Structure 1
Amino acid sequence: MFLMATSAIGPGFITQTTAFTARLGAAFAFAILVSILVDIAIQQNVWRVLGVSGLRANELGNATAKGLGWVLSVLVVVGGMVFNIGNISGTGLGVQAMLGGLDPRIGATVSAVLAIVLFMMKSAGPMLDRIVVFLGIVMIVMTAWIAITTAPPVGEVLINSVAPSQIDVLVITTLIGGTVGGYITYAGAHRLIDSGTTGPSNALAIGRSSITGIIVTGVMRVVLFLAIFGVVASGAQLDPKNPAASAFQHAAGDFGQVVFGVIFWAAAITSVIGASYTSVTFLTTQRTPERTRNLLVVAFIALGTILYLVLGQAPVQLLIFAGAFNGLILPIGFTVILWVAWRRRDLLQGYVYPKWLLVVGVIAWLLTLWLGIQSLSGLAGLWS
């Protein structure tokens, strides 16, 4: 649950929320609400199908059509690597904000080494679970404190959540892609399978866990939005080079900068862990020895770090692009999930799939298709 939530709450999540709050103001509340509802519909189906079948998404894809799982693996791993470059750069920015002036490349390298050490430990699995839970709670509590400090106009937010003054399709697509797109869609479900919580007897527990994970992500999105909106509504101008950091500094001075650094680093390092772990589950099967999987995770983190150091991409542009890209590949994997739910009861161990959940999933799937098509031109312009 927390692996999925903290994988979604990455540096791109914070960068996107800040940029879109500055652009849309209170109207961003509507985009958040829509994305949360779509996220719940998607994750309910993804977790239910994968959890009940006991198969990872790539294994389920190959069981549905020969080679389909590996096609999905390529898409997810490529998207995961793009995201991970942004995640690793985010750890550097977080350390820089905490310590003041340290070269982000140094902070990113040290953070990557810490993540590698985690996966080299014998108790990597349990340790991973404890770390993501702790850091997830830290992020939410500290951001909520900043939100209270900025005192945003909550009434205006509530009105715009159901009657927005403007609607931006690319923003909604990017939010969906950033919270349930690409590897993030499968992070929690794959961890659930590895923990052994599978089969028809666990269907209800699996469904509840998926909703809780989305709620955790939604709470973080809302408190971060309120914190940033309080600053924007006061008339303060955010620094375009690092808008999120400047918002926290406006809210709480120099200490706000340190708080931002802690939150940004925690979001980035947990996303490095989530992206690397989940991407490697698409390159392996459940029969792959745990030691081999952990070594592949280490290699994935190391490669992402090297690419970041070599490419030196502008973090804001790269992170927003990664979220939108994952939103575009989302419908492909979700198609497999819905097909199995509808036609392949044999892969669900005889489980009778709830029709209402399938209908909700199809509606969400159609919406992701439409949003993906609408965002193509906007994504091209954003990257250029």
Structure 2
Amino acid sequence: MAVCPICLDQRFAPLASIDFGRWEADETGDLHRATELFDLARCRTCGHVMIVTPYDDSTFRRIYLDTPQDPVFWDEMHVGSTAPYADMVEFCLGGAGPVEGFLVDVGCGPGLLLKLLHEERGHALDRLVGIDFNRRLPDPYRFVRADLNRLDADDIPGPVALAFASHLLEHLVDPRAFLRTLAGRLAKGGAIYVEVPDNGHFDPAIVGPTNLINQQHIHYFCEASLTSLAVSCGLAVERCERSVLGYVPRLRMLLRPAETTSAGDTVLRSLAHLSGQRTRLAERLRTLIGSGRPAGLWGIGADFHRLSVEHPDIAALVEGGRIALFDLGLAGRRYAGRTIRPPTDIAKFDGTVFLMPLLGDVRLKMRRFAESQGFPAGRVIDPWLTPR
């Protein structure tokens, strides 16, 4: 069953069918057409368009071995030209010289891009790598033979400074897995250049000459769907351009790993921040007690318990009667041998009382209660209030 590479849904709305066939002769020599249909559909969740007919190894052998594999035909003016590839390099590197790390062309074909990087941009041969199903890359360029539909991290020499995947993603069964694997081999500061036919562009004059809707193109990207695919792989779009060269509507992106903060990091930072706040409250209590002034805590719940565990000396001060405890629901109960007093007793307590709960809504109710009781100014302090 087909799976959308962007949202991973398996529900599709049918669009059309593409026929792929070949002539076969019977025993009399008469020709007849052997035809396969490939069904195009739109993902019902994210709208991505793709062929949903299953592909297997035999399918790939039929559709590729029966069709000559030539470089992308841009138009009559660019047959054998390196101009489109020079444009790709300029898109990624501008006028910069050779970079550190490997430059990898995945789906390198005859190597026009790598040849340009070496001969015109001065990149060392030992830093240039071509990866493809079959070798058409000439010596002395380094070549790695790999099944691009099952690309493994070990297939990619690294760390990769810049990876090119030009007119490749649309051919792969799972471009999401491919991009994730490639991203995992990037050096710090590394990038991925992707180019696909722009299926958000329609021009009757260029629909036919390059046959962009065919059984070899499994996926049909537009700017929105290619962006969504990149984001799903943890990549951010640094640069995007839509243009037309000859008969090919081009959608080009330079992708880099997105700068994100993991939930685990954020949780740990939050817990450390809260512990720090309790430490600052403990220091204020020590200062008050050390100067001989009475101190109290209002709200004997989970945050009070954490304060006592993290700062045993504060628990000892409570046990010794140096810090008074106030709580509405626990008034009259005893903690560490000390009776918990009702909040109304704060009016006659000659000292400073700190609100103990961290939850904002609880502290708001406590502050309003203090105002309604007319407690002396400065008697009750909310130690958790911070400027926003």
TM-score range, shorter chain: under 0.3
- Which has the higher relative contact order, 1 or 2, with Cα contacts under 8 A spaced 6 or more apart? 1
Task: Compare CA radii of gyration and give the structure with the larger one.
Answer: 2
TM-score for the superposition, normalised by structure 1: 0.23
**Structure with the larger helix share:** 1
Q: Which structure has greater strand proportion? A: 2
